[in-house]
Amino acid sequence: MPATLSALSETYNHRLAAILPSPIRVIDSEFAQIPGILRLTLGEPDFAVPAHIKEAVKRAVDADDSHYATAWGHVSLREAIADYLATQFDAKYDPQSEILVTVGASEAIYATFNGLLNPGDKIIIPTPTFPMYEAIAEAMGVEVIGINTAPEFVLTPAKLEAAIAEHPDVKAVMFNYPSNPTGVTYSDAEVHAIADVLKQHELLVFSDEIYAELIYDAPHTSIASILPEQTILISGLSKSHAMTGYRIGYIAGPADLMKHVGKMHQFLVTTAPGPMMAAAEEALRNGHQDAVDMRNEYKARRDMLVAGLTELGFTAAQPGGAFYLFVKIPAWLDQDDMAFIHDVANTVKLGIVAGSIFGAGGEGYVRLSYAASMEDLQEALVRLGQYVALKKTAQ
Amino acid sequence: MPATLSALSETYNHRLAAILPSPIRVIDSEFAQIPGILRLTLGEPDFAVPAHIKEAVKRAVDADDSHYATAWGHVSLREAIADYLATQFDAKYDPQSEILVTVGASEAIYATFNGLLNPGDKIIIPTPTFPMYEAIAEAMGVEVIGINTAPEFVLTPAKLEAAIAEHPDVKAVMFNYPSNPTGVTYSDAEVHAIADVLKQHELLVFSDEIYAELIYDAPHTSIASILPEQTILISGLSKSHAMTGYRIGYIAGPADLMKHVGKMHQFLVTTAPGPMMAAAEEALRNGHQDAVDMRNEYKARRDMLVAGLTELGFTAAQPGGAFYLFVKIPAWLDQDDMAFIHDVANTVKLGIVAGSIFGAGGEGYVRLSYAASMEDLQEALVRLGQYVALKKTAQ
């Protein structure tokens, strides 16, 4: 249990020091200490990995898939990803030079930012947003240009044009849909409208579409199918097949850009773990129905939750995808979302996340994850109902 | 198959661009094209993962270890690492705050450098060295101060003192023993002597001891046991248990420093894959004999190879550990090691790595990996014998 030598107390990456650890995890850990609490805090599927995918892991282990894979990942998996993207989203990539397997979408985001941007570059990030994008940009000295998308939580061409006009030297735009934290997604027309602006300004787009399989009201249009020469597509198996702990993501993009991202990837992790790649390949080749089944279940949960919240007097952003609701704190209650989540946690033992931690536009909102069982969600509604009743009585 | 938009052709990390992709992999890929070649190029164990470790993976998969682990890795694995380091190397760490599980030693190196150093900082790297350290330093704008350790390939206190005197603002020293590429390791007295210098100058040491289990002539002394308050210890299961493709490494160090490294780790990969962590835990808890058995086999290979090479007129650096021999090209042959490896590959179909790619001091040497079967190593000696005979005839 060594103490650090005091002379070394300033020996750390100073850019990192300014960045808080994942605020979602901080809140989740804090609430985990409250006895009897029900947490809808994390974006983690509650499903088990489908049995045939588990069997694929075991087969790979038995077949001694325990040596270094090629740096960009097993070729057979890259082929499965290429087939999947072509079939599902009409996005065509060469598995040899345009698809890279990563350790989850996290490493995909890190490798993309660090492979393609330089310290001092600017990136546009619409907010509210998953906090990791901003953290990674700040850690590498990239300047973040935020665009507040409230109250519709959709990046409009007008807002994007305005940000580009103000920052003509911007290098890239971060795009994430269906969105974490809002659950909002983009229609085909909306994706085309954003693509038009990006095309005109010749801007790179990092498109995190990891929730593309979890979409409930209309098909998903990938910007990679519209603007392939400017798109770095980021996705993975964590959400569609409940494989978060297996840590397999991927990146697809033009070979000229991917060579830089791939080099970064090698420095980061050398390559992804073999048996986990076998699981991803099985999911993409033979697990289409798994994703459909999970989607149907999430949709049923969403519909139940939206109905229950409406009855309690809450409104939410249009929840077209992912497994989050971004819920407005009713006007008759104090709008401080950080105070609200603590009050809810302490009085009725329900854990949810404050909207303001996701950046500008999130103030006065809270995020509920419905990656939880129907029973837990029903109980959450009961507790939220108790909270509302308590507050009404107190008024 | 998108082409990149030409306007984006300069959109990449310019620091990365100056760094070549792993030169070992480049050579290996090139030689892989030669029909009938026998390659001793990569540092990858040829053993399969022991059966009881494979079973641990399957059990974890069956038990639905498929959700996000805590960011620093399963606590039970961190406890196993702490017990292992204490028992084996007398290095004591708190599993809660001082041990972090990573995606291989690669991510461990990356997270350590990026968590603790800043652009413009200086790090001492003794050469010849594993090229990844320098690449990661350069990618983040850290200046590398090389120390040429030839011809003994041991960093001496005098050389270290001289480098520190010339660069008094240096922040850290990279230390790797047993060494890749030389196979040289450090005696207990030598480790203490280096520790004395580091202690006096209050310098941080990043100690990559991933080959610590592969040591043939004397016990391994970890610098973490001598200088814990200044050491970041990097290791993993890839080499000791032939688990390269499972990608589990770890870092141990003082909590004050580890908090920065851990934050970096979260931005890089979120956490390591669960079932692979279960394998690592089984290896550390119940796989001691596996490492001993593999070590004995490597030792037999080393002894055979050294004897055969000596007979052919080659000399090698003192090969106390790892599974590499760093072999001097005989004086009567052309000393250009890059020309030599190509000539050997083309004339007798034996693939080895040029010493110069490992930095100053490696010129005129070649690296042979004996992570290969005894049969392959015997065949390698036959082919090298044919090469020597050919050259003698040509003289």
Answer for the pair B66, B274: CB distance below 8 angstroms, yes or no: yes
What's residue B4's pLDDT? 72
Banded model confidence at residue A72, pLDDT cuts 50, 70, 90:
very high
Q: Which pLDDT tens digit goes with each residue over B156-207?
A: 999 999 999 999 999 999 999 999 999 999 999 999 999 999 999 999 999 9
Q: Which pLDDT tens digit goes with each residue over A302-331?
A: 999 999 999 999 999 889 999 999 999 999
Q: Which of A71, A268, A273 sits opposite B246 (nearest CB)?
A: A273
In angstroms, how far is the first alpha carbon of chain A from the final one?
53
Give the range among A20-24, A109-113, A167-171, B180-184 with minimum mean pLDDT.
A20-24
Task: Quote the CA–CA distance of B102 and B262 in Å, as a whole number.
Answer: 9
**pLDDT of B14 strictly over 90:** no
Query: Which residues from chain A sit within 8 angstroms of residue B17, using beta carbons?
Result: 260
> ipTM score here?
0.95
Query: Which residues from chain A sit within 8 angstroms of residue B270, using beta carbons?
Result: 104, 106, 247
Q: Counting beta carbons within 10 angstroms of the beta carbon of residue B120, is it exposed (0 to 12), middle (13 to 18) or buried (19 or more)?
A: exposed
At residue A123, φ and ψ (nearest 5 deg) are -130, 140
What's residue B236's pLDDT? 96
What's residue B181's pLDDT? 97
Segment A231-240 mean pLDDT: 95
**pLDDT of B105 strictly over 80:** yes
Segment B69-87 mean pLDDT: 97
State whether A69 and B116 contact (CB < 8 Å).
no
Residue intervals in chain B for CATH 3.90.1150.10: 6-48+290-390
Measured in angstroms, the CA of B264 and the nearest CA of chain A are apart by 8
Q: What is the mean pLDDT of chain B?
A: 95
What's residue A170's pLDDT? 97
What's residue B5's pLDDT? 78
CATH 3.90.1150.10 describes domain B6-48+290-390: yes
Measured in angstroms, the CA of B299 and the nearest CA of chain A are apart by 21
Measured in angstroms, the CA of A106 and the nearest CA of chain B are apart by 5
**According to DSSP H, which parts of chain A are helical?**
14-17, 23-32, 51-62, 75-89, 104-116, 131-139, 157-166, 188-201, 255-269, 274-286, 288-311, 337-348, 374-394
At residue B364, φ and ψ (nearest 5 deg) are 85, 5
Task: Quote the CA–CA distance of B383 and B342 in Å, as a whole number.
Answer: 14
Answer for the pair B123, B171: CB distance below 8 angstroms, yes or no: yes
**According to DSSP H, which parts of B202-287 are helical?**
223-226, 255-269, 274-286
What's residue B109's pLDDT? 98
Query: Which residues from chain A sit within 8 angstroms of residue B276, using beta carbons?
Result: 273, 275-276
**pLDDT of A345 strictly over 70:** yes
Higher-scoring residue by pLDDT: B151, B21: B151
Q: What is the mean pLDDT of chain A?
A: 95
Q: Which pLDDT tens digit goes with each residue over B370-389?
A: 999 999 999 999 999 999 99
What's residue A15's pLDDT? 87
What's residue B1's pLDDT? 62
What's residue A289's pLDDT? 96
What's residue B10's pLDDT? 78
Q: Counting beta carbons within 10 angstroms of the beta carbon of residue B246, is it exposed (0 to 12), middle (13 to 18) or buried (19 or more)?
A: buried
Q: Which of B22, B171, B231 sits opposite A266 (nearest CB)?
A: B22
Q: Which pLDDT tens digit goes with each residue over A240-289?
A: 999 999 999 999 999 999 999 999 999 999 999 999 999 999 999 999 99
What's residue A318's pLDDT? 86
State whether B103 and A5 contact (CB < 8 Å).
no
Nearest-by-CA chain B residue for A170: B11
Measured in angstroms, the CA of B390 and the nearest CA of chain A are apart by 35
State whether B202 and A8 contact (CB < 8 Å).
yes
Interface test mutation site (partner A, options B132, B268, B277, B282, max chain A beta carbons within 10 A): B268
Query: Which residues from chain A sit within 8 angstroms of residue B103, using beta carbons?
Result: 103, 107, 247, 269, 273
State whether B260 and A17 contact (CB < 8 Å).
yes
CATH class of residue range A6-48+290-388: alpha beta
Q: Which CATH architecture has domain A51-287?
A: 3-Layer(aba) Sandwich (3.40)
Query: Which residues from chain A sit within 8 angstroms of residue B257, using beta carbons?
Result: 4, 8, 11-12
State whether B3 and A266 contact (CB < 8 Å).
no
Banded model confidence at residue A9, pLDDT cuts 50, 70, 90:
confident
Segment A134-154 mean pLDDT: 96
Measured in angstroms, the CA of A117 and the nearest CA of chain B are apart by 5
Q: Above pLDDT 90, what percent of chain B?
A: 90
Segment B290-305 mean pLDDT: 96
Half-sphere exposure of A8 (CA within 13 A, CB side): 29
Residue intervals in chain A for CATH 3.40.640.10: 51-287
Smallest Cα–Cα separation from B178: which of B132, B243, B239?
Answer: B239
Q: Which two tokens stand for residue A333?
A: 């209650």
Per the omega criterion (within 30 degrees of 0), is the bond before B181 cis? yes
Segment B217-230 mean pLDDT: 97
Query: Which residues from chain A sit within 8 angstroms of residue B69, using beta carbons?
Result: 245
Measured in angstroms, the CA of B355 and the nearest CA of chain A are apart by 21
What's residue B317's pLDDT? 86
Query: Which residues from chain A sit within 8 angstroms of residue B252, using beta carbons?
Result: none
Q: Which pLDDT tens digit goes with each residue over B109-137?
A: 999 999 999 999 999 999 999 999 999 99
Measured in angstroms, the CA of B320 and the nearest CA of chain A are apart by 24
Banded model confidence at residue A1, pLDDT cuts 50, 70, 90:
low
Q: Above pLDDT 90, what percent of chain A?
A: 91
State whether A93 and B1 contact (CB < 8 Å).
yes
